[in-house]
């Protein structure tokens, strides 16, 4: 009986810790890319161009994409469905300032339902363009529990780092070398 009460207390404490964790989160990664802002902006603002650099394409090459709206810019939308590593959801461009900033609404269906904001910021730097990829939102109870057991910043951040490295490879390969 004492073991049962102690176990029940541990479970209640575990759920109390989860419930009191902050809900707001932000994951952000940056890199410098030696390519014109126009090229980088095109790789992000055109959702169909994501296939050339997105880390999620490599997690499941069989991911299905359904594009709606304009091909690029505000209103461009992509519904994707992939394996357990990719999940299912829609991203829609909500703001697009040429060569500077792109903001997206991210509606996740699987593995967890939720709505977050994604954004890319392009800033001139001494090495070309500093590209920042960020996602922010409000985590529900299940996501808070998941983030307690696994480091969400490290997990999503690693995917962002992989994507930015691939974007760098694609963009810099396409830049002609000055002679």
Per-domain residue ranges of the chain: 2-173
Angle among Cα 25, 28, 32 to the nearest 5 degrees reads 175
* Residue with more model confidence, 8 or 160: 160
The pLDDT tens digits for 37-95 are 999 999 999 999 999 999 988 888 889 999 999 999 999 999 998 888 888 899 999 99
Helix (H) or strand (E) holding 155: helix 152-173
Q: What is the pTM of this model?
A: 0.79
The span from the CA of 77 to the CA of 66, in Å, is 8
How large is the average pLDDT for residues 12-26?
Answer: 63
* Residue with more model confidence, 61 or 18: 61
DSSP sequence for 56-91: HHHH-TT-EEEEES-SBSTT-EEEEE-STTT-EEEE
Range 86-89, long-range pairs (CB < 8 A, 24+ positions): 86/56, 86/59, 86/60, 87/111
Treating both helix axes as pointing N-terminal to C-terminal, what angle do 2-20 and 141-149 enclose, rounded to 10 degrees?
110
The pLDDT tens digits for 101-125 are 999 999 988 877 889 999 999 999 9
CATH number of 2-173: 3.30.530.20
**pLDDT score for 179:** 45
């Amino acid at each position: 009986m004492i073991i049962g009460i102690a176990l029940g207390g541990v479970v209640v404490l575990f759920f109390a810790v989860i419930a009191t964790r902050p809900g707001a989160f932000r994951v952000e990664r940056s890199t410098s890319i030696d390519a014109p802002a126009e090229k980088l902006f095109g790789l992000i603002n055109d959702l169909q161009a994501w296939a050339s650099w997105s880390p999620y394409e490599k997690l499941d090459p069989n991911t299905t994409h359904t594009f709606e709206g304009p091909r690029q810019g505000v209103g461009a939308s992509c519904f994707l469905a992939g394996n357990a590593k990719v999940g299912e959801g829609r991203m829609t461009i909500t703001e697009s300032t040429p060569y500077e900033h792109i903001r997206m609404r991210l509606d996740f269906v699987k593995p967890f339902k939720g709505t977050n904001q994604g954004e890319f910021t392009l800033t001139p730097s001494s090495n070309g363009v500093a590209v920042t990829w960020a996602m922010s939102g409000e985590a529900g109870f299940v996501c808070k529990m998941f983030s307690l057991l696994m480091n969400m910043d490290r997990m999503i951040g690693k995917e962002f780092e992989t994507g930015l490295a691939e974007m760098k490879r694609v963009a810099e390969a396409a830049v002609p070398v000055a002679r």
